[in-house]
Structure 1
Amino acid sequence: MARGAVALAAVGMLTVSGTCTSAAQDRAASAPAGRTGQLSQAAACPGLTGFTCATLTVPLDHGGDVPGRLGLKVATADNVKAPKGVLLFLTGGPGQPGVPFVERLSQKLAPALKDYRLVMVDQRGTGDNALQCPQLQQEMGSSDLTPPTARAVTDCAAAIGPDRRFYSTSDTVADLELLRRALGVRKMTLDGVSYGTYTAERYALAHPGRVSRLVLDSVVPQTGYDPMDLAALRAAPRVLTTACRATGCTTDPAADLAKVVDTYGNGVDVMDALTTWEFVDPDYTTMIDALHKAANGDPSLLQGLIEGVREGSAASAEELSQGLHAATLCLDGRYPWGRSDTPVAGRQEALEKAGAELTPADYGPFDAATATGLGSMLSCLHWPSTPVPPLPPVHRRLPGVPVLLLGGDRDLSTPLEWLYDQKRLTPHARVVVVPGAAHSVQSRAADDKGRQAVVDFLLGRD
């Protein structure tokens, strides 16, 4: 749905090890100690001043048919009586935990946190309880565009087992409602980044009376993620051209990109590298130079960048669980063959048919092979048939609460086109676009414009 590289690109080499374990095995080994829907085992968060860490116990199956419980780590600020109530910050992926980012986010949002009680949670299947799929983790790292092998995908699904059907966004939304009740508050303000925006939207649609305000940063629209990623493919020329003009480069990166893909047939690799490069340099300076050289017959720099990005994007499951990432995307998504409960036989044929129906207007400077060959598509192509939860009406408008839509004009992970798609379904939306910023504006942008907009919005200065 959203890029797996959220705030994890270029983290350096990390060793991925261990044995695939199923959720059932994990529950048998260490069932949560608290009662369902309760926070327990509260203690000061190690290394964090002013925060308490606890465990929220939730049912594996909110429908009640399958026994089992999960323990979700939660960090809550100690200012329980904050005048504006709870600010629940939702991280991305899917697959990122929340608690490890408390210190960073509390610094970024400090001007607002005298009035809000910051709460962050490790969503089911993340953090210390991450779904572990070592081969898939090794192949994809922190990306969801790197194509995995079919064996890595099927091994992962088999390791998680039948419990994989309980890791959809709907399950997370139900967990968040239990968290609200456990916190003892009537409403919450939600601030989501990337996939976190989709989770926040889905929560607001399911529980419209429980939301005070929404901050949606690097927006994934409530209508869901397009596994062909066509909006991002079409946005690449705009993003690169904008970056080129801002830095005074003298090449035509849009033309170079088109020629590279046409010459080398490496659209998936190039898109994967571009999407990750925004975390390294939102000006894309080296990448623009590499595209120009490759377009003129020397692909060595570009190939080196592609290989370097793959190596540098390694991540442990505790940082971004590719098992959870696949399970959630496949349960949530709509694909050329249908949803995750569609039999595997026939999926490839449906994908090929959808690719054959694409035109250059659909994929911009790339090609149909790029649109049908991205990792997020291939993971779910090979994911075994799995029962899916019902989806909410995707075109129902968000509740009429104040909403801030925040984005960067250099973002390829969640392009601005998605932000404006969501705006059409948001009655009271304020839009702030930060020039020169890429993905995750609040956390990563050099310009403070976006963070100040969030603080003003949260404090009602908008």
Structure 2
Amino acid sequence: MTFLSRAGTALVAVLTAAACAVSAPGAARDTGGAGGPAAAGPPALTGHRPCPGQPDLTCADLTVPLDRSGAVPGTLTLRTALYGPADAPRGTLLFLTGGPGQPGVPFVERIRSRLPKALAAYRLVMIDQRGTGGTAVDCPALQKEVGSSDTVAPSPGAVTACADVLGPRRGLYTTADTVADLEDLRRALGVPSWTLDGVSYGTFTAGQYALTHPRRVRRLVLDSVVPLDGAGVLYEASFARSGEVLRTACREQRCGFDPAADLAKVVRRDGNGVGVFNLLVLASIIDPKLNDPRFGILSALHASARGDRARLDGLVAGFAESSGEPPEEFSSGLHAATLCADSRWPWGDSSAPAEGREQALRRALARIRPADVWPFQRDTAAAQGIPRTCLPWPSTRPNRPAPGHTLTMPVLLLAGDRDLSTPLDWARAVAAANPTAELTIVPGSGHSTQSRGDGAGAAEAFLLR
């Protein structure tokens, strides 16, 4: 559920096996483990300065309590970036990136290039959310094994080592904690209300903020939508949509075979469902029409189904390689801490004991109809990275749900019809449950339609309405 994901590094890895922006160091600090002082007084932005390499941007720091209950001492200093005048005619636009695990400030230039008309009328604000950028949660083993992937399964040892690194801070990286940080940011900016635009996991953060503080939100853009009550951790909707995405690409390319049937044959023969699913999810970000000849995913599937496995096996291996980015660029530790605390699990919430989780997961799998995940198998749902990360994650404080249930402000939902990371069914469900929401489906687009597809125009029209 990343915003820009690890597509660039994956491309290099795939081409090798089968033949993003960088944060400024030292931009923020985490005193949570050192018993630093709690944030005192009203929220404020301090240390205003030109952003490194971007003199027309202002960087500043927001200091927030690590633990608002006071049980764990310390503060976090979160880097922010501001572009445009404080008295912009349309007010302030807060743009939230995804993951969870991505910082925000490194992507200011990308957003400026994609939303120029809107940003002539808004002041843009972006923030490195807690646990990202300069306060990145650093779990070396987990970072090495999975990088920024949702679907690659880590080893239990890497997961528990990460939880041990965090210790008593483990439950302090929930979306509710980030929502409280964002409200501090709004107060520090001195704006009575603002507009939010979130991508991928950023849609969940933006939605939770809007449910918690509805009078503070003028408009809301949710691009590549995560359900407001949490993501479907077993990815059934994505598995089911894979066949349609493959067949649509085949019709467009006149491939002359059924790639969904080929996929079904391959994963049942080879037991490589997680690897193939990871390949398709990343392809839906970097090559949503599946027509890049350097990958040749459709032909690789067809060849494998006929017995020539080499090309597909190379693609699967290449896309499964960790992208190698440091935690400051994407924190796999923050990703684990937030997803495990936020999500709805077959075993309950994150406070449930580890004993019995596997059995609860197996019972949930047995309730899935095979037709609902075809061309994949039910076991793939349990073997992919999200449940495999959170099965061994120790019991911890769960995310506090937002008090509201329905969005009350004007909402634009953007969804790529080829997106397998946040599938179209998720956006449709949010649209059906929220009368003020309008859904725009972006044909031919995958994940993050404002950044990579044709969703930016629809977003600007909505923001300037």
TM-score range, shorter chain: over 0.9
Greater shift, 129-138 or 4-13, is seen at: 4-13
Among 5, 8, 18, the alignment partner of 1:7 is 5
Shift of 1:305: 0.2
| CA 1:283–1:148: 2 relative to 1, 3 Å | same
Among 230, 244, 262, the alignment partner of 1:224 is 230
Among 105, 109, 117, the alignment partner of 1:99 is 105
After superposition, where does 1:63-462 map in structure 2 within 5 Å?
63-285=69-291, 286-311=296-321, 313-392=323-402, 396-399=405-408, 401-445=409-453, 448=454, 450-460=455-465
Q: Is the 8 A contact 2:72 2:168 kept in 1?
A: no
Shift of 1:62: 2.1
| CA 1:210–1:33: 2 relative to 1, 3 Å | closer
1:20 matched residue in structure 2: none
| CA 1:147–1:233: 2 relative to 1, 3 Å | same
Q: Distance in 2 between matches of 1:261 and 1:215?
A: 37
Q: Is the 8 A contact 1:32 1:57 kept in 2?
A: no
Shift of 1:4: 4.0
Shift of 1:251: 2.0
| CA 1:294–1:31: 2 relative to 1, 3 Å | farther
2:17 matched residue in structure 1: none
Q: Is the 8 A contact 1:197 1:217 kept in 2?
A: yes
Q: Distance in 2 between matches of 1:79 and 1:63?
A: 35
- Is residue 57 of structure 1 aligned with residue 63 of structure 2? yes
Classify the secondary structure of the residue corresponding to 1:88. strand
TM-score, scaled relative to structure 2: 0.91
Q: Distance in 1 between matches of 2:148 and 2:297?
A: 19
Shift of 1:157: 0.3
Shift of 1:248: 2.7
Shift of 1:335: 0.9
Instruction: Write the deviation string for residues 108-143 of structure 1: whole angstroms up to 9, x where unpaired.
Output: 111111110000000000012110001001110110
Instruction: Write the deviation string for residues 423-462 of structure 1: whole angstroms up to 9, x where unpaired.
Output: 01222222211111110111112xx4x21111111110xx
Q: Distance in 2 between matches of 1:312 and 1:342?
A: 30
Q: Distance in 1 between matches of 2:57 and 2:86?
A: 10
Instruction: Write the deviation string for residues 238-257 of structure 1: whole angstroms up to 9, x where unpaired.
Output: 11112222233222111111
- Residue type of the partner of 2:369? T
Greater shift, 247-256 or 402-411, is seen at: 247-256
Q: Distance in 1 between matches of 2:418 and 2:391?
A: 30
Q: Is the 8 A contact 2:3 2:201 kept in 1?
A: no
| CA 1:219–1:389: 2 relative to 1, 3 Å | closer
Q: Distance in 2 between matches of 1:55 and 1:244?
A: 49
Instruction: Write the deviation string for residues 235-292 of structure 1: whole angstroms up to 9, x where unpaired.
Output: 1011111222223322211111111112112111111111012233112231111111
- Residue type of the partner of 1:327? A
Classify the secondary structure of the residue corresponding to 2:86. coil
Segments of 5+ residues of structure 1 without an aligned counterpart are: 15-22
Shift of 1:63: 2.7
Q: Distance in 2 between matches of 1:124 and 1:455?
A: 28
Q: Which ranges of 4 or more aligned residues in structure 1 deviate by more than 4 Å?
A: 23-27, 29-36
Q: Is the 8 A contact 2:144 2:322 kept in 1?
A: no
2:49 matched residue in structure 1: 43
> How many residues are aligned here?
445
Q: Is the 8 A contact 2:418 2:444 kept in 1?
A: yes
TM-score, scaled relative to structure 1: 0.92
- Residue type of the partner of 1:455? E
Q: Is the 8 A contact 2:32 2:76 kept in 1?
A: no
